[in-house]
Amino acid sequence: MSVQDVLTRIAQIDRALVPQQATASSSGASFQAALSAQTQSVAPTTMGALASGQTGYVAGMPGAAGAAGAAGGGPAGMVQAAAGEVGQAEQPPGSNDSPRIAEYRSATSGSGVGPWCAYFASWAGRQAGTPLGEQGQGFGSVSAVWDWAQRTGRTSPQAAPGELIVWGSRHIGIVESVDPDGKIHTIEGNSSDQVSRRTYGPDGGGATGYVRLG
């Protein structure tokens, strides 16, 4: 084969390769454009949800919560569950009952219609994943809650958010927050026939003590 034949063959090979290279470059550009478009359409939805602190399910996000609006866990969850019930009242007043109060009773084994502050505390504890009782059975009386707390070493002399506040065998509530000056804010079931917010001085209005959960 002459030198001229070799040069001609090389030129033919070069021409054959050029279209393939152009096609590959074009395909790469299309892929980048598609990827960019996909990112722009998906990212604002998922990232916006995360930035705003939403906990509802986001498709394709592993570990996202599937039950939007459910209470969280621990002390914060206890307060969250109770706060969402403020204003729920007996129907009719003085009856110790209503469809919602019946839900509170469902957290306590063997419950019946009656004073329901301990039912409410038991319900909030179950919602937060910290049920009351050795078997999580809940309690229908304040004295039973306090006995359990003493039996299991859960009593506390100082209030903290998410703990129970107990007044003898008469009444029980949930500590919502404590101010720097010691003022105690609570959420209580069966307070003026409804779920109510109350505020006390550092002594908790003469509270017997407090109960840690979890």
Residues 22 and 46 in one domain: yes
Residues 85 and 165 in one domain: yes
Which residues does the chain have with pLDDT short of 50? 18-70
Residues 174 and 200 in one domain: yes
Domain termination residue (choose one: 69, 100, 127): 69
Identify the pLDDT of residue 72: 74
Domain count across the chain:
2
**Whole-model pTM?**
0.68
Residues 100 and 64 in one domain: no
Residues linked to residue 198 through DSSP beta bridges, in sequence order: 186
Domain termination residue (choose one: 69, 86, 113): 69
Residues 61 and 39 in one domain: yes
110 φψ region: left (φ > 0), alpha (ψ -120 to 50), beta (else): left
Structural domain boundaries, residue 161: 74-211
Q: Residue 87: which CATH number?
A: 3.90.1720.10
Identify the pLDDT of residue 2: 60
Residues 183 and 131 in one domain: yes
**Separation of alpha carbons 78 and 127, rounded Å:** 7
Residues 177 and 149 in one domain: yes
Residues 42 and 83 in one domain: no
